[in-house]
C-alpha cells in the first residue's frame, strides 16, 4: 500500500495498528486532533505526508541529539549497509561503540548491547536479582523503564498520559515483585527498604525523571539513594536511557557525581537506530551468559547499522555541542515562561500548562503554526544541536499568539 495523503495513510494505520500507532505515546488522545503522518526529517524539522513543514521538538522521543538526517550519521549508515550484516558474530563496530561508552562513563566497565531500553532494564534487573539472590525491585512512581511486566506499576510516559495505574496482562505474582516509592523522597524510599528488609535486589531510578515531565533530582536525592542502596545491600540502577549522552557525555551520573552499580542506556547511543545498553562493574556483567548463569541474548544485538549510527553520533558530542544545547534550551525556557512553569535540565524540558485543557490548546496552537511538541505534558521536549535560533523564535511566537 502506498497512499498519498496523510488522511489516507492515517486511515490505513487505524485499520492495521491498535489505536493507529505502533507506540501509544504517538497517539493524540490527550491533546485531540489527528496525529501527524511524517514523511521525512532534516535537522530540527520534519515534513508530513502532505508536505507541511514543522519545527520538531519531539525528536523521536530522545535519540536525535544531532537532529534528523545528520550528514555524519547518514554517511556512517551508508558505509555500514554496504558491508552487509548483521553477521551473528562480533564486529569491530561493537567494540568501537563500547569503548566510547566506557570512556565516557567510568562506572560502566563492561556492557552488553541489546535492542531497546526495555530490554536493557529487564536484563539489568535480572542481573541484580542474580547478584543479590533477592526478588524485589524498588522503583519510583512516575518512573518509566520500558514495558517489561514488572516495571509498569505507576509508570510514567504513555501510562501517565492514558491514566493507567498499571497494565492489564501482568500476572499479580510478577507485579508483587515491584515496590514503589516517591521520587525525590528519601523517607518513602527508606521506609520501603525497611518494610522489605533483605528482599530488595535493586533500586531503579531515572536520575532525572523525564517521563512525568522533567523533574530534576533534588540536591542530595541521588546521593541518598546511593547510601540507602549500600546500607540495604541493594544495587543502584540508573536508567539513563534518556539522560545518557544527553545531559552531558557522562550522563546524569557524571553531572550529579553519583556512581550507580548498573547503568541503562538507549536512545542517543543508537543515534536513532534501535539500541539499548546495560553495563556496570565487570563482576556484575560477568554474571551474564556465556560468562555466567544469567541468560540474555539477541539476534540483532549490536547490529552493525545501529553501531554505526551510535558511533557517528557520539563522535559529534563535544563541549561546544553541549554548550549549544544549553543555549537553545535556556532560550526556550526563558521564552516559554509566560505560558506556564518550565522545568529543564539542559536540552530536556517540559512546559507545564495550568491544566490538561490548556496544554491541549497550546499543543493545537503550536501545531497550527508549524511547531510539533510531544502530545502529552508527561513527555519531555527534546532539543537537538541542529535546531536554530529561528526555530526557537518561531516556537516562542507561536506560543505567544
Which residues carry out catalysis? 144, 239, 267
Residues sharing a CB contact under 8 Å with residue 159, sequence separation 6 or more, in sequence order: 144, 152, 165, 166, 167
For position 246 contacting ligand PLP by CB under 6 A, the verdict is: no
Least Å distance, CB 62 to ligand PLP, is 7
194 C-beta neighbours (distance < 10 Å), count: 10
Phi, psi at 305, each rounded to 5° = -70, -45
Q: What does DSSP say about strands 262-265 and 276-280: parallel, antiparallel, or unpaired?
A: antiparallel
Work out whether 189 is an interface residue with ligand PLP (CB under 6 A).
no
- Choosing from 28, 57, 113, 144, the residue that interacts with ligand PLP (CB under 6 A) is 144
Residues 68-127, interacting with ligand PLP (CB under 6 A): 116-118, 121
Quick one: which of 266, 302, 310, 375 contacts ligand PLP (CB under 6 A)?
266
- Candidate list 132, 161, 211, 395; residue touching ligand PLP; CB under 6 A: 211
DSSP 217-247: PPTTHHHHHHHHHHHHTPEEEEE-TTTTTTS
Cross-strand partners of 371: 55
Report if residue 313 touches ligand PLP, rule: CB under 6 A: no
Please tell me whether residue 261 binds ligand PLP under the rule CB under 6 A.
no
Q: Is 242 in the site for ligand PLP (CB under 6 A)?
A: yes
Asked whether position 347 contacts ligand PLP by CB under 6 A, the answer is no
Could you say whether residue 252 binds ligand PLP (CB under 6 A)?
no
Q: Any idea how long the chain is?
A: 401
Which residue is nearest to ligand PLP, using beta carbons? 117
Q: What are the angstrom distances between the C-alpha of 72 and each of 78, 188, 265, 354, 368?
A: 10, 46, 21, 41, 32
* Residue 376 contacts ligand PLP per CB under 6 A: no
Q: Is 301 in the site for ligand PLP (CB under 6 A)?
A: no
From 99-107, 139-147, 328-336, 360-368, give the range in contact with ligand PLP by CB under 6 A: 139-147
Give the one residue of 241, 247, 305, 308 binding ligand PLP; rule: CB under 6 A: 241
Angle at which helix 92-104 crosses helix 304-314, to 10 degrees, equals: 40
Least distance (Å) between residue 205 CB and ligand PLP: 10
**How remote is the C-alpha of 164 from its chain's centroid?**
19
Nearer to ligand PLP by Cβ, of 206 and 311: the residue is 206
Strand partners, 265: 277
- Round to the nearest angstrom and report the end-to-end CA distance of the chain: 39
The site for ligand PLP (CB under 6 A) is made up of 61, 116-118, 121, 144-146, 157, 206, 211, 239, 241-242, 266, 276
Amino acid at each position: 500500500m502506498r497512499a498519498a495523503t496523510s488522511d489516507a495513510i492515517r486511515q490505513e494505520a487505524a485499520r492495521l495498528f491498535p489505536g493507529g500507532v505502533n507506540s501509544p505515546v504517538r497517539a493524540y488522545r490527550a491533546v485531540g486532533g489527528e496525529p501527524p503522518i511524517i514523511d521525512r526529517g532534516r535537522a530540527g524539522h520534519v515534513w508530513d505526508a502532505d508536505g507541511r513543514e514543522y519545527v520538531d521538538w519531539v525528536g523521536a522521543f530522545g535519540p536525535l541529539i544531532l537532529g534528523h538526517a545528520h550528514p555524519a550519521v547518514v554517511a556512517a549508515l551508508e558505509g555500514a549497509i554496504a558491508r552487509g550484516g548483521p553477521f551473528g558474530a562480533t564486529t569491530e563496530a561493537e567494540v568501537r561503540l563500547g569503548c566510547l561508552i566506557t570512556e565516557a562513563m567510568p562506572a560502566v566497565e563492561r556492557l552488553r548491547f541489546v535492542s531497546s531500553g526495555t530490554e536493557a532494564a529487564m536484563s539489568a534487573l535480572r542481573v541484580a536479582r542474580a547478584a543479590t539472590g533477592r526478588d524485589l525491585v524498588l522503583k519510583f512512581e512516575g518512573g518509566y523503564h520500558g514495558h517489561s511486566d514488572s516495571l509498569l506499576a505507576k509508570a510514567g510516559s504513555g501510562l501517565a498520559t492514558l491514566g493507567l495505574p498499571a497494565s492489564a496482562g501482568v500476572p499479580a505474582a510478577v507485579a508483587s515483585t515491584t515496590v514503589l516509592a516517591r521520587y525525590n523522597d528519601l523517607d518513602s524510599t527508606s521506609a520501603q527498604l525497611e518494610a522489605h528488609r533483605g528482599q530488595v535486589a535493586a533500586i531503579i531510578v531515572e536520575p532525572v525523571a523525564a517521563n512525568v515531565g522533567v523533574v530534576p533530582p533534588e540536591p542530595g536525592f541521588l546521593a541518598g539513594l546511593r547510601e540507602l542502596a549500600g546500607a540495604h545491600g541493594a544495587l543502584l540502577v540508573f536508567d539513563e536511557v534518556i539522560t545518557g549522552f544527553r545531559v552531558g557525555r557522562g550522563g546524569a551520573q557524571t553531572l550529579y557525581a553519583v556512581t550507580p552499580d548498573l547503568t541503562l542506556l538507549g536512545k542517543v547511543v543508537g543515534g536513532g537506530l534501535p539500541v539499548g545498553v546495560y553495563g556496570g562493574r565487570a563482576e556484575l556483567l560477568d554474571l551474564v551468559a556465556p560468562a555466567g548463569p544469567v541468560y540474555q541474548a539477541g539476534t540483532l544485538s549490536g547490529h552493525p547499522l545501529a553501531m554505526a549510527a551510535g558511533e557517528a553520533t557520539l563522535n559529534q558530542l563535544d563541549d561546544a555541542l553541549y554548550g549549544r544545547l544549553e543555549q537553545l534550551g535556556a532560550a526556550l525556557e526563558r521564552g516559554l515562561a509566560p505560558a506556564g512553569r518550565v522545568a529543564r535540565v539542559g536540552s530536556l524540558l517540559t512546559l507545564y500548562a495550568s491544566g490538561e485543557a490548556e496544554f491541549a490548546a497550546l499543543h493545537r496552537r503550536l501545531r497550527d503554526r508549524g511547531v510539533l511538541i510531544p502530545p502529552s505534558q508527561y513527555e519531555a521536549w527534546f532539543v537537538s544541536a541542529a535546531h536554530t535560533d529561528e526555530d526557537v523564535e518561531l516556537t516562542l511566537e507561536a506560543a505567544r499568539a
